Amino acid sequence: MLVHCSIVICHLSFSMAAYLLLICSAFGAGVMNSIAGGGSFLTFPALVFTGVAPILANASSTVALFPGALASAWAFRKDLTSFQGVSFKALLVVALAGAVVGALLLLYTPERLFDAIIPWLLLASTLIFIFAPRRAPLRQQVVRIRPVPFLLVHFFLGIYTGYFGGAVGLITLAVWSLFGLTDIKAVNPNKILLGGLTNTAAVACFIIAGKVVWTPSLIMLVGAVAGGYTGARFSRRLSHQTVRGAVIAISIVVTIVFFLRKT
């Protein structure tokens, strides 16, 4: 596996236009993740469109974005809050375990199978991104979830994060709203920190397996860190609805493009 990946990586070449696309998409993704989520809707297709194979693109996108999440968490460090009845350490442990499972599933998924389900994963992520926050208040009126189900849900969120991760930030916010955590500005720092730390497990798996295309990943990493920190610093000046609308528009376009690629 390692030998095969090394050969693939060595044969990849990028033009200046491709590098510009990668760093701009990473900066935008960092900003989006620090405010609303959905940054992978920029970085993943950018890597695919520049010639990176889908599984390698997904792994490389994860590696490139996770330091940006940590940069945002650092900018938000004074705004972190604690959860009532649930230890953040316990939440992190189950999320990390799920991320390892998801990353291993990705590593052992045949390239053709993953390529075939990408459009459907994007579509599911887009629909969740759009509709979950709207329906969460209604479900909150009739559903009461305790800490054990809360941790169990985060284990499956961890699996999704390790395997694909599209719109996982918005999905997390939607899940938290079911537990009464509806103040996005209050819980956003926790979401960013949890997402960044959870991705470290997936990142470690991808690096060990040799699934990272390093040159574009490092270039995007710089852009994502800059975008993540910038977005966190200036998020209070931006309209959440404006950013959310932009993310939805981007995700719809990207989903349509990936479906067209399969025709």
Per residue in 147-200, pLDDT (tens digit) is 888 899 999 999 989 998 877 877 787 778 767 676 666 677 788 888 888 888
Q: What pLDDT sits at residue 132? A: 63
Comparing 215 with 179, the larger pLDDT belongs to: 215
State the pTM of this model: 0.76
Tokens of 46: 């950018």
CA distance 262 to 259: 5
- Helices 111-142 and 168-178, packing angle to 10 deg: 20
**CB burial of residue 55 (10 Å; 0-12, 13-18, 19+):** buried
The domain spans of the chain are: 2-6+21-261
CA distance 198 to 225: 17
**CB burial of residue 226 (10 Å; 0-12, 13-18, 19+):** middle
Distance separating the N- and C-terminal Cα atoms of the chain: 30
Comparing 203 with 240, the larger pLDDT belongs to: 203
Rg of the chain on CA atoms, in Å: 17
Averaged pLDDT of the chain: 80
Question: Is the torsion defined by CA of 87, 200, 241, 153 positive or negative?
Answer: negative
